[in-house]
Amino acid sequence: MRIDGRGLIDRAKPISFTFDGKRYQGYKGDTLASALLANGVRVVGRSFKYHRPRGVLTAGFEEPNALVEVVGTTNHTPNVRATGQEIFEGLVARSQNRWPSLRFDILAINDLATPFLGAGFYYKTFMWPRAFWEGLYEPIIRRAAGLGSLSGKHDEGQYEKSYAFCDVLVIGAGPAGIAAALTAARAGADVILCEEKAHIGGRLLGDMPQLDGKSAADWLAEAAAEMATLPNLRVMARTAVTGAYDGGVYSALERVGLHRAPRADLPRECFWRITAAQTILAAGALERPIAFENNDRPGIMLASAVQDYLNIYGVAVGQKVALLANNDGARRVARQLIQAGVEVLGILDTRSDASVVEDCPVFLNARITKTKGRHGLRHISGTHLNGEFSFDCDVLAVSGGWNPMVHLTCHMNGRPKWEASLSAFVPQADAIPNMRAVGACNGDFSTKAAFTQGAGAAAAALGDLGHTPAPFTAPDCEDAPYIITPLWAMETSGGVYARAWLDFANDVTVKDVALSAQEGFVSVEHMKRYTTQGMAPDQGKNSNIGALAVLADSTGKGIPEVGTTTYRAPYAPTSIAAMGAGGRGMGFAPQRFLTSDRLSRDRGAPMIEAGLWYRPSYFPKAGEGDWQTSCNREVGYVRSAVGVADVSTLGKIDIQGKDAAKFLDLVYANTFSTLPVGRVRYGLMLRADGYVLDDGTTARLGENHYLMTTTTAAAGLVMRHLEFVHQAYCADFDLRFISVTEAFAQFAVAGPRARVLVGSMLAAPLGDLPFMGVTTAQISGVAARVFRISFSGEEGYEIAVPTRYGEALMRDLISRAELMGGGLYGMEALNVLRIEKGFITHAEIDGRITAGDLGLGGMVSAKKDCIGKRAAQREGMVHENRQHMVGLRPLQGEAITAGAHIFAQGAALTREQSQGYLSSVGYSPQFHSYLALGFLERGRARHGETVMVVDRLRGINVRAEVCDPMFFDKSGERMRG
Amino acid sequence: MKIPCPLCGPRDRREFYYYGSPDYLSPVAADADLDALDNQLFLRDNIAGQVQDLWYHEGGCAAWLKVTRNTISHAVLGAELVMGAQAAPKAAANAAPNPAAKPVSAAAKPAVKPAPRTVAKPAAQPKTPKKDA
């Protein structure tokens, strides 16, 4: 219930929210957990395996029990810690893992089956009968497994990711972190201070110690005011640093909008990559529980959580409170509760030698043997030094000691070291380069130590950076030693430990860990996987140390010998949507558009992705029933009239210099130094291992000036290759080259009427531009290059203009072509045209093909060396049994598919009998047949043979004739005209 | 991971394309025998520790770099330009087998000194973290 006069919540701002369909009221600054506790809600979830009713255990992000679903407008998020979720007006949350309701959950029947559901039970069950595996066991297990549910819809929330750089990163804004941040920032360093919670202060907020005679709240207000005046200090609240990576890089997750009502422009989270020269880890410590019989009843909470709810949220979590502790720290909690008017029934101190001087009864050597209250603690009883005790209480505040938050120090394969005097693990120094751990996370739990260590580490970090430290005076505050007698678990009635909980989130008991050791899983890594301890969303933050202590007992080893498992990033659950912010849908990759893109889409052309480019597939006309009809028409344009296509996507590289020719002779298999100015030559480029890298045409524009083209998809690859050859082998060449792919828009004009069309556009007559020639021209006052080359097999030209004129030129070309009985053609038609002529693309050049395979072995010049020449001469590369490129024509013209395999007639259709495959297929209107290019063993010697073309995936098995890949016009007269 | 491009300064590794061993810097000789050819193309040492590899500054200045780094500690120890560090080898045309070209000097002088950020000193070299057996 709410207590007046306490807490940092804003009572002037009431907020209403819904939990499990019921409306409640809280205040701004409340978390869902604190508001529910204020409203007397004790049960907030059902445990994972046994569906036991559970209440809030902690006041922080390490919460294992109070995992809820938050239902929003764009997102439905499971496993949200109610202790971290700040309430906002209209928040809708639901408990998880229960049906039909939290109060009455059918699967609580699991709790009765405990003897059969211990750790690893699924390794020993669900085996018989086999018929039940898929039909019964799997559906049941699937439904029972997992925690929380998903909406099944796409995550439509907004997320961002960002980068930050600083001199000093301070992780945690408790006393140590604030001291470090102020020390560094006052000295002028660039500082980022990250704090996972909504407010700075850390333990100061819950503990409320006196600092310099002032209240902690006042001291914090002054510190915050000073921090606000320092422009070189960025305070990032609600930001959890989740991982430590190489090079001083840290990942962090900032909750930007999760604590507010959703809005279209409000990102939910921002994923940060922070690069810091120096880092100070002030992550504090987390309190740990003690295991005893039924220690998971709602109302059994961590003592520091009880304190947090009192001092931060103004909530008394119960009316009759008892405390259980093995250390001195819990005494303060009891005193504060008493001061606030809460009835404290007694302190159960597990030690025999602690002080009994308190304002409430103190019981030494206390052991709890029995608790009552399945849906909310009612009663505890047990033994102590002088007899027995028995309380009717509704809250038991437990303190089993503190665990320094060493996690980040272990993200680069480091392990923490055991400090026996603290009964805790502490960081190894230098585990992360340039990171220093201070305060509670370093094993020093007093308030004074936090301030002095934080300031000291910052001073040392400043020294490493070459800054002069500014002074920071630690306030006058407590500096008490940490006195603890470890106790991990209390014997339960019958010594069975079956219901003494270690990992609340995955329902792992002391007995489970002991069982693991008994069954031979004695390594901590095995125990973890066998019992699933530490594998839940909380990643064992409350249970790791307790579990390995129990394992140490069970195996007779010491705790340091058992060791810890590997701490891995992320420290906090991180939504993938945040890490991939901006990458959904169209954001996944850049998009590249042609100058003709708009007009293509306006004409209804479906656009296909060619790398990052969009190219038009075909241009449908009204009345055409399917794409094939459109494609056939477009092929007809090129064969009979004139067709126009945008070919700007091909890579274009401008190469200049006195050694340009020599360079081309090195990278191309054939010779380019002999190419006359004004001519274009088809070239083949090999890789260092002798396989074909790419093909293309290169034009000689001048004595020392060439223009190379590459295939669309390989443009970047070829550019990289040229850069490598130049820088590695030809550093002393007089040579410069640059990609001009985007500089020029280029359009193909092909067909019997192409010459007329092109001529009609030029300022001066085209004259006698020979086949494979290049010239410059003026088109409507724009300087253009005109190449006479053909990929269609018809007389063809390509016109290149500066990109900004591309669309205008294209529109002009189209209207002229349409007047001449032709028009646009797209990728489908382009493919058919080139297949009919046996012209290759990277469907053929797939990285396993040699020049010889293509029938182009003669292109590899005998008179000069080139990249890949020697490797191409290896025996296996020229072997006569290699697969040669051939054409294939189904005897009945039937449909065949690329990827189909080729078999000799009568051969068994097995992998070993396959003699080749089809690489490209198109339907040829002029042949009324599908045609293919493919590769066939000794193919060049088998023209005329009938083979089987088989595609089992698509049910194709037809006979086809092997033929020359150039299906018609072998002399090329239509091109050369 | 950052790679210190001599021309551009320390840049995120995602600006670079990783190619592989510096063995690629020695072009295959026209008359190399089969074993030498095979080694040149495919045989590589797989070093745990200090290695050198070739990276291309694709998202930057297009320089090819030889980067020295430690695959155990992840430290990046330096990068030099391939061009300029190479004693200019003739193109392999009709030449005797080229001995594996080793760069003779340290990093080429960068054309422009990269403007430092507020980070005054480079991070201290990390110690090798403890490894499990």
Instruction: DSSP for B62-110, please give it.
Output: --EEEEEEETTT--EEEEEEHHHHS--PPPSTTPPPPP-PPP-SSPPPP
- Cβ–Cβ of B41/A688 closer than 8 Å? yes
Residue B98 placed within a domain: no
- Chain A contact set for B34 (CB, 8 A): 874
**Any chain A CB within 8 A of the CB of B30?**
yes
- Residue type at position B10: P
Residue B132 placed within a domain: no
Q: What is the pLDDT of residue A495?
A: 62
Q: What is the pLDDT of residue A494?
A: 63
ipTM at complex level = 0.86
The residue among A265 and A344 whose pLDDT is bigger is: A344
Looking at the structure of chain B, the number of domains it has is 1
- Chain B contact set for A190 (CB, 8 A): 118
- Cβ–Cβ of B41/A689 closer than 8 Å? yes
Selected for mutation to probe chain A from B64, B69, B80 (highest A CB count within 10 Å) is B64
Q: Is the pTM of this model over 0.90?
A: no
**Any chain A CB within 8 A of the CB of B37?**
yes
Is pLDDT above 90 for A114?
no
Q: Which of A147-156, A258-267, B43-52 has the lowest mean pLDDT?
A: A147-156
Q: Which residues contact A592 (CB under 8 A, 6 or more apart)?
A: A611, A612, A613, A614, A649
**Any chain A CB within 8 A of the CB of B49?**
no
- Chain A contact set for B121 (CB, 8 A): 277, 464-466
- Chain B contact set for A279 (CB, 8 A): none
Is pLDDT above 70 for A496?
no
Nearest to A916 by CA among A874, A871, A965, A857: A965
- Cβ–Cβ of A867/B64 closer than 8 Å? no
Q: What is the pLDDT of residue A178?
A: 98
Nearest to A790 by CA among A682, A880, A883: A682
What proportion of chain B, given as a percentage, has pLDDT over 70?
Answer: 63
Q: Which residues contact A923 (CB under 8 A, 6 or more apart)?
A: A628, A631, A632, A832, A895, A929, A930, A931
- pLDDT band for A491, please (50, 70, 90 cuts): confident
Q: Are B97 and A870 in contact, with CB atoms under 8 Å apart?
A: no
**Any chain A CB within 8 A of the CB of B55?**
no
- pLDDT band for B108, please (50, 70, 90 cuts): very low
**A189: closest chain B residue by CA:** B118
**Any chain B CB within 8 A of the CB of A229?**
no
Is pLDDT above 70 for A744?
yes
CATH of the domain at B67: 3.30.2270.10
Domain hosting residue B22, numbered range: 2-88
**Any chain B CB within 8 A of the CB of A465?**
yes
Residue B116 placed within a domain: no
Q: What is the pLDDT of residue B27?
A: 77
What are the strands of the beta sheet with A643-646, ordered from one edge?
A773-779, A782-788, A796-802, A744-750, A643-646, A823-824
**Any chain A CB within 8 A of the CB of B96?**
no
- Cβ–Cβ of A465/B119 closer than 8 Å? yes
Average pLDDT over residues A488-515: 87
Burial A389-409 (b: 16+ CB within 10 A, else e): bebebbbbbbbbbbbbbbbbb
User: At CA A121, angle to CA A117 and CA A125, rounded to 5?
Assistant: 110
Q: How far apart are CA A406 and CA A284, in angstroms?
A: 9
pLDDT tens digits, A786-838: 999 999 999 999 999 999 999 999 999 999 999 999 999 999 999 999 999 99
Is pLDDT above 80 for A198?
yes
- Cβ–Cβ of A871/B28 closer than 8 Å? yes
Assign A491 to helix, strand or coil: coil
Q: What is the pLDDT of residue A774?
A: 97
What proportion of chain A, given as a percentage, has pLDDT over 90?
Answer: 89
Total CB pairs under 8 A between chain A and B: 113
Q: What is the pLDDT of residue B98?
A: 38
* Phi-psi domain of B106 (left: phi exceeds 0; alpha: psi -120 through 50; beta: other): beta
Q: Which residues contact A57 (CB under 8 A, 6 or more apart)?
A: A63, A64, A65, A66, A289, A300, A301, A302, A305, A504, A542
Among A residues 261-300, those touching chain B with beta carbons less than 8 Å apart: 277
CA distance B35 to chain A (A): 11
- Chain A contact set for B31 (CB, 8 A): 870
pLDDT tens digits, B53-88: 999 999 999 999 999 999 998 999 999 999 976 544
Q: Which of A498-502, A632-636, A835-839 has the lowest mean pLDDT?
A: A498-502
Residue B73 placed within a domain: yes
Q: What is the pLDDT of residue A866?
A: 95
- Residue type at position A334: A
**Any chain A CB within 8 A of the CB of B120?**
yes
Is pLDDT above 50 for A727?
yes
- pLDDT band for A162, please (50, 70, 90 cuts): very high
- pLDDT band for B118, please (50, 70, 90 cuts): very low
Is pLDDT above 60 for B114?
no
Residue B124 placed within a domain: no
CA distance A735 to chain B (A): 13
Is pLDDT above 90 for A108?
no
Selected for mutation to probe chain A from B13, B41, B52 (highest A CB count within 10 Å) is B41
- Chain A contact set for B2 (CB, 8 A): 247
Q: Are A500 and A295 in contact, with CB atoms under 8 Å apart?
A: yes
**Any chain A CB within 8 A of the CB of B46?**
no
**Any chain A CB within 8 A of the CB of B24?**
yes
Residue B100 placed within a domain: no
Q: Are A148 and A79 in contact, with CB atoms under 8 Å apart?
A: yes
Average pLDDT over residues A673-682: 98
Facing residue for B88 by CB, picked from A413, A662, A732: A732
Residue B15 placed within a domain: yes
Phi and psi at residue A33, to the nearest 5°: -65, -45
